[in-house]
Structure 1
Amino acid sequence: MPVFGVVIPYYQRRAGVLAAALNSVARQDVGVPVTVVIVDDASPIAAETEVEKVEFPGNFSVQIIRQENAGPGAARNRGIDALAAADYIAFLDSDDSWAPYHLGSALTAFENGFDYYTAETEEAGSGFRYLANFFKEGLPLKPAGFASWAGELMEPIINFTVAGPFSTSSTFVVRNDVIGTTRFDKALRTAGEDGLFRTMLAAKSPRTLVSSRVDALLGEGVNIFSEGDWGSREATMRAIYFLRSRLLMRPVVESFPVAKAKVEQAVRSARVELCRSAIANLRRGDFPLSQFFQICRADPLLLFSVTGALSAARRGRRS
């Protein structure tokens, strides 16, 4: 009988957030064994107090791993390592939730020869849907005869993981043998690590099933990707991490022309965003100078972008 593994990196400051996510896991319509691994990344609200609020079916088991705060990438890696015996791995952020059919849909995909399953994602409260909004012209899907709600992706999945939120961290499920030794880059503390990980998996050309149904609802708990307002050190570090993640994608997409072109476009956009953030951050006196120099060494063209942005800013002030 196949075994699902669920990896949940956990860091929250408000009680009840993780319990809500776990309740959605406990409601999954699968009768196969499911092992849930929660990696408590030194969360202010302990994972144990949240797990106690949830009643799981008999085919579920829960494991809590505690670690010093190391970021979501490192936490997900600990979870993957703990699930070496699982056949399929699903990821869920601790403030998100699943529709009851999420794992069941993924199991249907795997039973029909697919390696990677993903679906529509919706933001809680706003109703904003990712696939519908970021891929307005539609994805190249071939209808799946076994599921009216899904289709097989007919272009390399890597063409979509490198640009736009095609498959969020809480929406995709993958065969464990596709993951293999691939891991999240734990140095990318607050941005880019998830997109890079999915792109590394996509480079293995997994057969992909995409569901049009909303499988994941994104919540509003602690999201380190959005903490720190515009012009803050945190915002600049996110921009640095994001640019670095796209630079790291370059060798991964080398043999995929469409993805390669999209990565270069993403690098250019990331440079502009980092320049804007850096200029705003410089005025506040908490600029991450050493980290900025490191990314400049990795991407020398960034210096030209910064110089141009500073010149434009000075011209704007004079005018």
Structure 2
Amino acid sequence: MSNSAPNSSVSVVIPFFQRERGLLKRSVSSILDQEGVSNSQIIVVDDDSPISARDELSELIATTDSITVIEQENAGPGAARNAALDHIASDCTYIAFMDSDDWWESGFLKTAVDALDQGNDLFFCDTQRQSVEGTRFEWNKQEGLNLTPQEHQLLDASLETYRFDGDFFDYAIVRSNIISTSALVYRRSSKPELRFNTQLFNGQDRLFKLSLCQSITRVAFCAKTLVSEGLGVNIFDSAGWGTGKSLTLLTNYIRLAKCILATLTLTKAQRVHVNNQLQESRYSMVANLMHLIKSKQPIEWTRIWTTIKIDPLFAVFFLPNVMRLLLAKRSSSPQKT
């Protein structure tokens, strides 16, 4: 790294739990290879990983003093990120995140810092995930929700950076998945106390991003794809429909929606949107449960009781959702003539 503005420092947070060697070294190397930025700190939190972070990074640690490794008992990625956030120096200007199997193009940090130094509080760019067609900016494209650069204020034509024109929090409520955590950099002073909710096993990122977006007004983005996302090790990524894992995932979706409703200040329209997502998660939970019963697969009933404890209305809407499911099956069945 070289030639950065001395007044802008960046701390990069990496939670680490991997079973495949070489991924973390690739991620950290991509940070060390950033062009135009030198004032940075890399904090890796080894969340009791089967592969030691120190062993993975031993060659890199020997060449630089910008890498810090923190070791802790396994507590999940949210707790690992929180440990790193607690370790960041108070005079740090910007905070970035990196998942341990993702990597940055060499111009990512320079583009982010340049946009943030112009008075913006949050920066993100487009990303490409392995084995997924299209970039994040292309996911779930629909009229009125597409991120069209030409509709926003140009910051730098050569870097293809723009300032978002409009209410970004309102946009993020519907399209929060447009921001990969590994493509997000924000001004620490915007919300220095913000931490990840460790009660969520999946969706911690979404709640964190929404909480951050509600606290800021100036958002910049880059139309270029500057981040590559790996496959990840999250069990939820392989939670297929109609499996026991899917019940765990849906319970967490319900918990996430309840957290959003309880912790964020929402407009009537935003609350309706989140409640609709909550209701769809309840319905999907019932549909998955009925499938497991019909196919005589094992069911973790404690998951159902946990869901009812989190969301008592799940029980209230259980029979209506069963009726909705039966009607949907009847309407999709071929009619006899």
Q: Normalization by structure 1: what TM-score?
A: 0.88
> Tell me, what secondary structure is at the counterpart of 2:123?
strand
Q: Distance in 2 between matches of 1:209 and 1:108?
A: 10
Q: CA deviation at 1:170?
A: 1.0
Report what 1:143 is aligned to: 153
CA contact (8 A) 1:17 1:221 kept: no
Question: How far off is 1:27 after superposition?
Answer: 1.5
Is 1:99 aligned with 2:110? no
Task: Decide whether the 8 Å contact of 1:5 with 1:88 is kept in 2.
Answer: yes
Provide the rounded CA distance (Å) in 1 between the counterparts of 2:30 and 2:274. Answer: 35
- For residues 279 and 228 of structure 1, the distance between their equivalents in structure 2, rounded to whole angstroms, comes to 17
Q: Is the 8 A contact 1:150 1:212 kept in 2?
A: yes
The within-5 A match list for 1:42-57 is 42-54=48-60
Contact between 1:159 and 1:258, CA under 8 Å: does it hold in 2? no
CA distance 1:227–1:135, shift in 2 (3 Å):
closer
Per-residue deviation, 1:227? 4.0
The answer on whether the counterparts of 1:18 and 1:94 sit within 8 Å (CA) in structure 2 is yes
Which stretch shows the higher mean deviation, 197-206 or 135-144? 135-144
Which residue in the other structure is 1:75 paired with? 80
Superposed CA deviations along residues 139-159 of structure 1, whole A, max 9, x for unmatched, are 364232434512211222222
Q: Give the partner amino acid of 1:287.
A: E
Deviation per residue, 1:55-83 (Å, 9 max, x gap): 7975x611111111111111111111111
Q: Does 1:21 align with 2:27?
A: yes
Q: Residue 168 of structure 1 is aligned with which of 157, 170, 180?
A: 180
Superposed counterparts of 1:153-232, under 5 Å: 153-164=164-175, 165-189=177-201, 191-232=202-243
Question: Which piece of structure 1 moves more, 238-247 or 254-263?
Answer: 254-263
CA distance in 2, matches of 1:281, 1:96: 35
CA RMSD of aligned residues (A): 2.6
Greater shift in the superposed pair: 74-83 or 47-56: 47-56
Tell me, what secondary structure is at the counterpart of 2:284?
helix
1:65 matched to 2:65? The reply is no
Pairwise CA distance, 1:176? 0.9
User: Shift of the alpha carbon at 1:161?
Assistant: 2.6
Structure 1 pair 127/244, CA: closer, same or farther in 2 (3 Å)?
same
Looking at structure 2, the residues matched to 64 and 281 of structure 1 have their Cα atoms a distance apart, in angstroms, of 43
Matched-pair contact (CA < 8 Å) for 2:19–2:49: yes
Cα 1:232–1:127 shift into 2, 3 Å: closer
- CA distance in 2 between counterparts of 1:46 and 1:266 reads 39
Larger radius of gyration: 2
Unmatched runs of 5 consecutive residues or more in structure 1 = none
Say whether the 8 Å CA contact 1:156–1:205 is kept in structure 2: no
Question: 1:88 matched to which residue of 2?
Answer: 94
Amino acid corresponding to residue 296 of structure 1 in structure 2: I
Q: 1:119 and 1:288, CA in 2 relative to 1: closer, same or farther beyond 3 A?
A: farther
Q: Distance in 1 between matches of 2:114 and 2:63?
A: 20
Q: Which moved further from structure 2: 216-225 or 280-289?
A: 280-289
- Name the SS of the counterpart of 1:170 in structure 2: helix
- The offset of 1:32, in angstroms, is 3.1
Compute the TM-score of the two structures, normalised by the length of structure 2: 0.84
Q: CA deviation at 1:220?
A: 1.8
Match of 1:243 among 248, 254, 257: 254
